[in-house]
Amino acid sequence: MREITGAVIEGSGSPVVIEELLLADPGPGEVLVRMTSAGVCHSDLHVRDGHWERQGPVVMGHEGAGIIEEVGPGLDPSAIGRPVALTWLAPCLRCRDCQRGRQWLCQSSPALRHAGLDGTPRVARADGQPVLSYLSIGTMSTAQVVPATAVVPMPDGVPPEVAALIGCGVSTGVGAVVKTAQVAAGDTVAIIGLGGVGLSCVMGALLAGARRIIAVDISRAKIDLAGTLGATHWVHADPANPAATVEAIKTAAGDGGPDFVFEAIGNPVTIAQSVAALPPGGTAVLVGLTRFGQLAQFEPFPFVDGGRRIIGSNYGSAVAAVDFPKYAEFYLAGRLPIDKLIDRRLALAEVEDAFDRLRSGSAARQMIMF
Ligand SMILES: NC(=O)c1ccc[n+]([C@@H]2O[C@H](COP(=O)([O-])OP(=O)(O)OC[C@H]3O[C@@H](n4cnc5c(N)ncnc54)[C@H](O)[C@@H]3O)[C@@H](O)[C@H]2O)c1
Ligand SMILES: [Zn+2]
Ligand SMILES: [Zn+2]
């Protein structure tokens, strides 16, 4: 048992309170990770703002990196001291999807219980009240006990905040392009929404050899940042005129529209735009997550008549143990400039302020440093 500090919400829709908490020792199949960095992703904001119903109290955060400080009974102690990135969907390794190599679809992941491997919380308040850990990794805390399958060793030279970003934003965005959609060299690509996820789609499109990369956002600063990451064209979206944005995307792409449109917001209006901008044979890749219960619309006739497609991309089809080290190596080789996504480093106590910035749309990726 040790004392930790964590960012806790009572339940979805409640503000974050920084609390002193007690962390259990790692059990069989678990490791204790001292956190070095945690990212502030829009998925955290969906929970914080009550868009997704979640039980509490819960330690927030699902994008993080740290150092292994203890291992549970039976695990190799030589792992102690190793820097790791955390995955928010620790694979069970036993279900049909895990066995088929599709770990991003694992529905038996211990992470879905937001607790330890045995299903009981690893964190408690001083009075003994149990506290959940979001997706079993609750990265907005000084340390956590997590399933051993949630940690992936990082190569030397990868800064903690870069490793943390690989844990969600980078794997989600780069993977959506290179793994889920499998964009080929010479394809044209548009990305609507340039937060940590959309900017990672831009980097992925460059990596894949896309011919035109069209960056779309309501923020001029985000468009400029996308330009430094490889975007070749841009559209400054006016939310009051969605049809004009669709026309501008088509014009920028040429050939009737982009082969792929990535929606990285989770807004029914931009989801509809991502379908409307497609030429015949084009594919809309939905990466952004909507509020629970929200619907989106499109007209089926031209969609079917033109052989268009819509696909959903969860976690960029990531197999963490394989893909995280690969993205880290691309970073070290200068081919994924992940550090450029980071526009603020902050303390754990400033997380509510970071949520305010994210809500306003002015933040790229904000990283908590421990
Ligand atoms: N599929 C997955 O596995 C997965 C993983 C992580 C995050 N997500 C989701 O991806 C989405 C993006 O996450 P993020 O952290 O990058 O968010 P973010 O808030 O940092 O970025 C959203 C961007 O969209 C822009 N935007 C807002 N309205 C717009 C409009 N009408 N037109 C054009 N641009 C607009 C904002 O200016 C901002 O730059 C969220 O819904 C998040 O929950 C999905
Ligand atoms: Zn995330
Ligand atoms: Zn599984």
Spacing, Cα 108 to ligand 3 middle (Å): 5
Q: Helices marked H in the chain — which ranges?
A: 42-48, 96-99, 160-165, 171-175, 196-208, 220-228, 242-253, 268-276, 300-305, 320-332, 351-360
Burial class (CB in 10 A: 0-12, 13-18, 19+), 147: buried
Six-digit token string for 62 = 């699902």
Q: Is 273 in the pocket of ligand 1 (CB under 6 A)?
A: no
Q: Is 232 in the pocket of ligand 1 (CB under 6 A)?
A: no
Residues near ligand 3 ion, CB 5 Å cutoff: 92, 95, 98, 106, 108
Q: Which atom of ligand 1 is nearest to the CA of 222?
A: 39
Distance separating alpha carbons of residues 197 and 41, to the nearest angstrom:
9
Q: Which amino acid is at 294?
A: Q
Give the ligand at the shortest distance from the Cα of 200.
Answer: 1
Report pLDDT for 102.
Answer: 98
Spacing, Cα 325 to ligand 3 middle (Å): 21
Report pLDDT for 304.
Answer: 97
Residues 12-38 as b or e (16 or more Cβ within 10 Å = b):
bebebebbebebbebbebbbbbebbbb
Report pLDDT for 228.
Answer: 98
Report pLDDT for 104.
Answer: 98
Spacing, Cα 91 to ligand 3 middle (Å): 5
Distance separating alpha carbons of residues 242 and 281, to the nearest angstrom:
22
Residues 244-278 as b or e (16 or more Cβ within 10 Å = b):
ebbebbbebbeeebbbbbbbbbbbeebbbbbbbbb
Distance separating alpha carbons of residues 94 and 296, to the nearest angstrom:
34
Beta bridge partners of 44: none
Distance separating alpha carbons of residues 259 and 186, to the nearest angstrom:
10
The string of DSSP codes covering 64-112 is EEEEEEEE-TTS-GGGTT-EEEE-SS---S-SHHHHTT-GGG-SS-GGG
Report pLDDT for 242.
Answer: 97
Q: Is 41 in the pocket of ligand 1 (CB under 6 A)?
A: yes
- Atom 21 of ligand 1 has which residue's CA nearest to it? 195
Query: Which helix (H) or strand (E) element contains residue 23?
Result: strand 17-23
Q: Which atom of ligand 1 is nearest to the CA of 290?
A: 41
Report pLDDT for 157.
Answer: 97
Q: Is 194 in the pocket of ligand 1 (CB under 6 A)?
A: yes
Report pLDDT for 192.
Answer: 98
Q: Is 175 in the pocket of ligand 1 (CB under 6 A)?
A: no
Give the ligand at the shortest distance from the Cα of 39.
Answer: 2
Ligand 1 pocket: which of 87, 112, 192, 197 to mutate (most atoms within 8 A of CB): 197
Query: Quick one: DSSP state of residue 16?
Result: P
Report pLDDT for 48.
Answer: 96
Report pLDDT for 295.
Answer: 98
Q: Which atom of ligand 1 is nearest to the CA of 46?
A: 43
Q: Which atom of ligand 1 is nearest to the CA of 358?
A: 19
Q: Is 246 in the pocket of ligand 1 (CB under 6 A)?
A: no
Six-digit token string for 104 = 């991003």
Q: Is 172 in the pocket of ligand 1 (CB under 6 A)?
A: yes
Q: Encode the chain (370 residues) as per-residue pLDDT tens digits.
A: 999 999 999 999 999 999 999 999 999 999 999 999 999 999 999 999 999 998 999 999 999 999 999 999 999 999 999 999 999 999 999 999 999 999 999 999 999 999 999 999 999 999 999 999 999 999 999 999 999 999 999 999 999 999 999 999 999 999 999 999 999 999 999 999 999 999 999 999 999 999 999 999 999 999 999 999 999 999 999 999 999 999 999 999 999 999 999 999 999 999 999 999 999 999 999 999 999 999 999 999 999 999 999 999 999 999 999 999 999 999 999 999 999 999 999 999 999 999 999 999 999 999 999 9
